[in-house]
Structures are given as C-alpha cells and as structure tokens.
Structure 1
Amino acid sequence: MSPIALGAILAIILPVSYLVWSVAATDRVAIRNIQANLGQRARNAAPQTLSLEFSAFTRKVTPVRYVTWLDKQLAALGRPKEWPLERLLAVKPLLALGAGLLGLFYFFASPEPSRFAILLAAIAFGYFAPDLLIRTNAEKRRDKIRQELPNTLDQMLISVQAGLGFEAAMARTAQNGAGPLADEMTRTLQDMQVGRSRKEAYLAMSDRVDVPDLRSFLRAIVQADAYGIAIAKVLKVQAHEMRMKRRQRAEEHAMKIPVKILFPLIFFIFPTLFIILLGPAVMNIIAAFS
C-alpha cells in the first residue's frame, strides 16, 4: 500500500476511533442505575445525555476563540432555537466525518496525490460549511436591520411626541413591527425587565447586532440619558441621519452598476452584436473574393 493511501486511512480512522472511545469511556454503570431507578423515562433521556456529553466534549476540544466567534455569529443571527451553540459544535465534526468518508471512497477508487488533496478539502469543507452558512445569514439579517432602522426610528419618534416614554415607544414599535429589528428590541426590553440597566441592555444590543448605524443610535440614546437631553430631539436627528445614510447607500450601489455590467457587456453582449451585424457582410465579402 502506498504511503498516501496509508495516510488517508489513518486520517479517517484515528479521529473516529478517538470519538468512539470518548463516548464509550463514560460511566455506563451509573447510566444503567439511572435507567433502573427511573425506568422508561430514563431510557428515553439516555440518548439526550449522550448527545450532551458529546457536545461538551466537542466544546472542550474546540479552541476558545473559535467558540467565541461562533457564539457571536449566532447572536448576530438572532440565536435560532433549532441551532444552539452546543448542537452546532456537535454537528460540525459529524459533517466533516461524512464528507471525509465520501472523499475516502473517491480516493480509494484511484489513489493519487491530487485525490488525497481533494479528500482533505472535503473534510475541511464539511467542517466549515456551517460557518459559511451562518455568516451569510447573519450578514443578511444585518442588512435587514440596516434597512428597517430609519422607519423604526420614525415610528418611535411619533410615539414619543404623542407622550410615551422611550421604552414604551420601543415596546409599541416592536409590538407593531415584524422583523429582526423588532425581535432585538423585544429582547432588549426583556433584558431590562429582568434587572439589567438601560445602558447595559442598549450596549448589549449594539454588540449583539453589530450594525454601525444601530450602534451610533444606541450610543446617542445612552449619552442623552446620561446628560438629560430630550429623547425626541435625539430621535429626530438620528432618524434624519439614518435616512440620509440609506439614500447615500442606494446612490452608491447605483453608481457601481455600470462597473458591474462592464465585464458581461464586453465579453458576452458585444461579441454577439458584432456577429449578428457584421456576420452576413463578412460572409458576402468572403464569397465575393473566393
């Protein structure tokens, strides 16, 4: 057997053996005692226990900075209930294992160095594919928040001018709205209800969402609250500024369109037009001189 094939086998078998040994090395006597004492209820909970143990194991072997980055991306995504951090950390090695097995079958069909590189790339893709998906969806959510912010500030300004307080205006706007910004405002109000200060709740929302426009607005609110500035005036100024920024972003995107269509225009549209317009004339000239 070639060294490349042997290395591929070891690259798959050793991590799998280590994971199986880690799960099998748990205290099965204690698990059997719990099952005997609790009966069917414990038997139903046993797979969940193993899943939690595997999640805890994957969290221990994953670098702390990487776990922190994943947690921040999930926070920017709104922390979906279907994909908590522990489940994500448990699924990533399984996806890498599945992709590695497929790559191993492809490698064994014809052991070559190029196929071994494809095997390693498949393992890396299986492990980091959820990160790409989460980051893409988090960026889309930030774009939605950035687009919703000016209209939301206008609604809050109307509520404040009608006599409501800032938190009451935020609650009214979140209740009547639908979208990621309304969800974040609801969560911020819940943080204040459980005992968090206004400043801490607003700054936590700023760090969680990570949108520069929203961060600027929340910092202005914190400073207005600290110095006793009228909230209605701050809302009016911020709403006007957010509308101006949204208009500037739209104009910027519009100015980029000619540059973006230049490549397909030169390499796809112009050649087709030249063929249609000049093709018959060229054929007639060739026929005349032949």
Structure 2
Amino acid sequence: MDLFANITSVITGLLGPAGPVILLGGVGLLLLLACIPIVLSQKPDPLDKLKEAQQSRVQKETTAILREKGRNDKLNKYAQLLEPTDEKELSDIKSKLQQAGYRSKDAVRTYYFAQFALALAGLGLGALYYSLNAGTDSTTKDMIMWVLGPGVVGYMGPKYWVTKRADKRRQEIQDGFPDALDMMLVCVEAGQSMDQAILRISKELRASFPNLADEFLMVSYEMKAGKEKTAVLNDMSERCGVQDISSFVTVLNQSQTFGTSIADALRVYAGEMRDKRVMRAEEKANQLPTKMTLTTMMFTVPPLLLILVGPSVVGITNMGLN
C-alpha cells in the first residue's frame, strides 16, 4: 500500500490532481494505437472480398445504365460527382429540367455543375469580402452570414432559375392550349389526319406560343420515327407538366382504344378548354379588386395621413416649445 501511495503521490506531483486519470488515458491510447497495426495486418475474409466485388460490379452496371453515351467529354470525366446514381432522383431532375425546356443529354450534369461552381464562387467571394471588411468587433455569426450566405445563394440559384422557368413555360403552354385544340379540331374536320394536324399546329403556333409549338413538333417527329402514338402523347404530357394536356392525352388514348370519333372527342374537349380559359380570366378579374385595395392602402393612405396630420403635429410641437 505504501508503494502504491508513493507512486500516486509522485504522479500527482508531476501531473497535478488529475494525474492518475491522465496516465490511465495515455496508457489506453497507447494500447489502442498498438492494436491498429494488428487489425490492419489481418487478411481479409475471402467471402467479404467476393461480396465487395459483386457489389462493385452491380454498381458499375447500374451507373452505366443510368448514363447515356455520346455526351460532353469534359463533363463525362466527373460524371460520378455531377449525376445522381439513384434512378428515381435522376428521373425526377431530368423531368424537371425537361419541363423547364432543357432537353439536352448534358442537362442534368450541367445543372449540378452550375450548383457546385456557383456555390464555390459564392463561398470564395464571401470569404474575400469578410477578410477585407472584418473588424475587431466582428462575431462568429457575422462570419457565417457573410461566408456561408453567398455560398447558399449560389447553390440555390440554379434550382430557383429552373423552377421559375418551368412555371413560366407551363403557364405559356396552358394559355395557348385552347387555341391549339380549336386549330386541331378545324384541321381534323377538314379531312386531315392527326399527324398532319399536329404538324400544322406546330407551324401556326410558332409566333405566339413557341414552347407549345416545340412540343407539337417533337410529337410529330416522334410519330414519323415510328414510335407508338400512345407513348408519344404520354411523353408529351410528362414534358409539359400541365393538367390540361394530361387530360387531353387521356381523351385521345381512350378515343383510340374504344374506336370513337376523334373529331367528336376534340369538339367536346375544346369546348371545355374554352370554358376553363374564361373561368381563369374571371378568377383573375375577381382577384383584382383585392389586390388594388391593398395597393391603394399601402401607397395612398400613408401620404394622405402625412398631409392631413403633419401640419397639426408641427403646430403642437411648436406650441410645446414656446
């Protein structure tokens, strides 16, 4: 006991009151470091190596299926970083970019590259600005705001741009679709086939609704290439992302399945689309008084109060001073 007490007193004198705890922690750390080479020197299990090889092969095959060949070679070098490996995520972002009008093979990779590049640029500019303007009273909150803020804005910028562009494109397609249906009905009743009507519509709508004209032109090309009409129309519905076109595709598919007249189906559906357009216009007109009321209150009432009450306030203030 005396020996143990002497050793404890010596350790306490050298390392302080927590000396025994520090010594035990150091010994434990040394033992842990000594175990690392032993663990690393163990031979891997053959079954584990076989399992890892199978997983690697499956992952490579899946990645090869998800990606298409013939893309930009510069972006292809960083495909693992610029393209999701999950099939559902890849399909969702590709559909979103198509709805925004970006249909190229490199659209997904360009989108992720833009997010990455703008985020790095924002971080760099934010760090540069903070290093040049930081004072002695700057806090950690200020540093996070000025450094991470531009990075977050740069990362979210492409997403915001794609979302706004997709909304604008959907609105244009929705506005021009009733006119396209009326024109399609006229062409079909005049004796033209559905393919000829779609091609004619794509030419006539080019000046007023170019995005809708592009969709009809793509449908015409895919039909000429021999793709099934049902699949072509379904693809158009996914690219547009508009409920009216989805309903239109359903009507055409049902008409083709049951053998009913396409002209009759178009006549009924075109009438419904005209009614919907009138209802949308009436809805916007009914919202106008509310919006004008708020605008009037915000920009008219404060100046009016200032004009009416201002002289009285000035007069009362002068009387108080006198």
Q: TM-score, with normalisation over the residues of structure 2?
A: 0.67
Identical pairs, percent: 29
Deviation at 1:135, TM superposition (A): 1.1
In the TM superposition, 1:272-283 aligns within 5 A as 272-277=303-308
Counterpart in the other structure of 1:252: 283
Deviation at 1:121, TM superposition (A): 2.6
1:204 aligns with 2:235: yes
Equivalent in 166, 187, 198 of residue 170 of structure 1: 198
Equivalent in 140, 163, 167 of residue 113 of structure 1: 140
Deviation at 1:62, TM superposition (A): 7.2
Give 3-state SS (helix, strand or coil) of 1:260's partner: helix
Q: Is the 8 A contact 2:99 2:170 kept in 1?
A: yes
Equivalent in 251, 272, 290 of residue 241 of structure 1: 272
In the TM superposition, 1:8-19 aligns within 5 A as none
* Alpha-carbon distance in 1 for matches of 2:105, 2:89: 20
Counterpart in the other structure of 1:216: 247
1:232 aligns with 2:257: no
* Alpha-carbon distance in 1 for matches of 2:289, 2:202: 39
1:151 aligns with 2:179: yes
Counterpart in the other structure of 1:30: none
Give 3-state SS (helix, strand or coil) of 1:183's partner: helix
* Alpha-carbon distance in 1 for matches of 2:221, 2:158: 29
Equivalent in 124, 148, 152 of residue 101 of structure 1: 124
Counterpart in the other structure of 2:99: 76
Q: Is the 8 A contact 1:59 1:67 kept in 2?
A: no
* Alpha-carbon distance in 2 for matches of 1:153, 1:257: 29
Q: Give a deviation string over 1:130-189, Cα, whole Å, max 9, x none.
A: 111111011101100000011111111111111111221111111222111111011112
For structure 2, list consecutive stretches of 5 or more residues without a partner in the other structure.
Answer: 1-71
Deviation at 1:96, TM superposition (A): 0.9
* Alpha-carbon distance in 2 for matches of 1:142, 1:50: 32
* Alpha-carbon distance in 2 for matches of 1:112, 1:67: 41
Give 3-state SS (helix, strand or coil) of 1:261's partner: helix
Deviation at 1:122, TM superposition (A): 1.8
For structure 1, list consecutive stretches of 5 or more residues without a partner in the other structure.
Answer: 1-47
Q: What's the C-alpha RMSD, in Å, of the aligned pairs?
A: 2.7
Distance 1:220 1:237, change over 3 A: same
* Alpha-carbon distance in 1 for matches of 2:194, 2:90: 35
Q: TM-score, with normalisation over the residues of structure 1?
A: 0.74
What code does the residue aligned with 2:189 have? Q
Structure 1 stretches of at least 4 aligned residues deviating more than 6 Å after TM superposition = 281-290
* Alpha-carbon distance in 2 for matches of 1:129, 1:187: 29
Q: Is the 8 A contact 2:195 2:223 kept in 1?
A: no
Distance 1:161 1:90, change over 3 A: same
In the TM superposition, 1:120-199 aligns within 5 A as 120-178=148-206, 179-199=210-230
Deviation at 1:67, TM superposition (A): 3.7
What code does the residue aligned with 1:52 have? N
* Alpha-carbon distance in 2 for matches of 1:270, 1:167: 59
Counterpart in the other structure of 1:37: none
Larger Rg: 2
Give 3-state SS (helix, strand or coil) of 1:116's partner: helix
Distance 1:129 1:82, change over 3 A: farther
Equivalent in 259, 270, 282 of residue 301 of structure 2: 270
* Alpha-carbon distance in 1 for matches of 2:84, 2:104: 24
